[in-house]
Structures are given as structure tokens and as C-alpha cells.
A and B are shown apart, each in its own frame.
Chain A
Amino acid sequence: MKKLYTRWGDRVHFLEVIVRQAHPGPHAPTYHTFGQKFEDARRYVEEEAIPWPVLVDDLEGTVHQVYGGMSDPTYLIGTDGRVSYYVQWTYVPALHQAIQRLFAQDGRGVVNEGINSGVHMQPALTTGWRGLRRGLPQSVIDMETAFPGTAVGTWIGYQMRPVLAPITQRARPLPRAAKVGLAVGAVGLAALAVSRMRRSSEEV
């Protein structure tokens, strides 16, 4: 998101609305008052050095719920005040393309069919841990209970971010050639692993 801001921050208003603790824990307790929520939002802005305005919704998440109540949606709104595009998981490459299209059509109107409804979990692989670690240890226990392996997965992804981030955190869509390359690479690695397993089982 910061990459997107660096690219478009001077031509597009960026806003973030704080909704609720997605992964609560002892150091990131569930909000019970608006004051507590507001304080936590301030801490978040400081710790993550967020350069855009961070707004604090009321305790019930009134604005959030009107907009659908999803965990991590992002709307692109045109200069006519209408929704031009909607990405349910704040998928930055899709947003980047949508912003480009929006400027190509004078800053208004629906772009790229208006909605991206892919379940984009890839960015969370390297950034998920940043949120999850605030709620330690309960956030991880809850996450592992809900979906075994996912919390550990984000921890590993976070440790490997120097290698993975160029792919998972990219601001622009991968060129088709790169996608094909990655797919071929993955198939190659899998084939190599299978042949090694076969060889080692033959040796036994």
C-alpha cells in the first residue's frame, strides 16, 4: 500500500478507516470503548509510520458495516463521488491498474468492470505477521485453531520476506512472461523433488 501511495499519493487521496481488532490478544485487546480504539489507532499510525490520514470509525463500525463489513476491502472512488472500483482484499496490483484506468477516463466512471473478487491471500504471506504479532500469543493460537498452519506460515513468510516480498508485495501486476516463468520454475522444483524422492526410495 505504501508503494501505491508513493506512486499515486500526489494525485489521489488515500484514506484508511480503522475497523476493529482483527486478531486480538493481550497487547491488542478487543475494543470496548471509542477512546481505547482511538488510542490504538494513534499507536498504529506511529508504529507503522502511516503517511495518509487514518480515520477512526465508531465502536460499532457503522461506516465499515455500511460499506459491507469485510475485513480488508478497498474502494476507489471517482471525482464524481461514485465507486469506480472495489477490491475485497486491498490487492495492490489490481488497484494500481484501476487507478491508471481511472485517470485515462478523466477520474470518473467504473473501471475494470468495477470489482475484483479474487481471494488474494498472497500479500498476507509476508505482511500478515506484522498484524498478527500485535496480538501475541492469543492471535496466533486463534489463527492456528481457525486455520492450522496459517499463523506459522505468515511467520515463515515474514522471515523470508527479502526473497518473497518482491513477488508478494509488488505494486504492479506481474508481466505474463514472469508468471509463466514462476509457474515453470515451480513445476520444475516439484519434478526435481519427486525424482529425488523416487531415487531415495529406490536406494532403500
Chain B
Amino acid sequence: METRNEIKESGPRASELFAGMHRRQSVDEYNFDHFRTRHFLYDARATKEKIGIHPGALAPDFTLPIASGGTLRLADLRDRPVVLRFGSPS
């Protein structure tokens, strides 16, 4: 069950968003085996440098599977504001 998410073009292009940002991580680098000091330091630095999508920019659209079934597209939720959190079970 391998899927790849397509970042839709209605928002900014992924490549534009990465310009000037930290380089993208490989799949193994991303799914690390050990939490290390550098992971936290990246977060702390990213916080200070305000890395991420900037306020006022279009939130890049995506379609992702829902854990409890079905899929969801961000752009379908324009009727109300959205709180979008990125999290981890551990």
C-alpha cells in the first residue's frame, strides 16, 4: 500500500516553497531511528527563523487518506476556518 501525495497546483508550488528553505530530507533521514539533539535543534532554529508557510500565503492544498477511512482534501474545507496540526503518535 504505497501512496504518494500530489501537492496540487492551486496553492504555491512545492519547489517555490522550498526555495530558501532547508533542504528536503530523504525518506530514511525523515524517518529516523533515534531521536537526537540535532532534531530538537532543527526545530528550535526553525522556530527562530520562522520556517514554514508564511502567514498570508495560500496553504498548499493536499488530499490525504483519513486513518478512520476515506480521504480528505484541504481545499474542500473552505466553509469554516481550519486548524491544521502536524503530529506524531510518539
Contacts and interface: CB of A to CB of B under 8 A. Distances in A.
Interface residues of B, number: 66
B51 A70 contact: yes
Which residue, A60, A84, A117, has most C-beta atoms of chain B within 10 A? A60
Interface stretch (A107-115, A165-173, A177-185, A189-197): A107-115
Interface of B: 1-5, 7, 11, 14, 17-18, 21-22, 24-27, 30-37, 39-40, 43-44, 46-48, 50-62, 64-68, 72, 74-75, 77-90
Contact of A57 (B46, B48, B64): B64
Contacts of B31: 20-21, 30-32, 59
A134 to B, nearest CB: 4
Which residue, B25, B32, B59, B79, has most C-beta atoms of chain A within 10 A? B59
Interface residues of A, number: 92
B7 A63 contact: yes
30 contacts: A12-B83, A13-B81, A17-B64, A17-B87, A18-B67, A18-B87, A21-B89, A22-B90, A23-B90, A32-B31, A34-B1, A44-B67, A54-B68, A55-B67, A63-B62, A64-B86, A66-B7, A67-B60, A68-B51, A69-B22, A72-B86, A74-B83, A75-B84, A83-B58, A83-B59, A110-B55, A119-B47, A132-B90, A134-B89, A143-B35
A70 B39 CA distance: 9
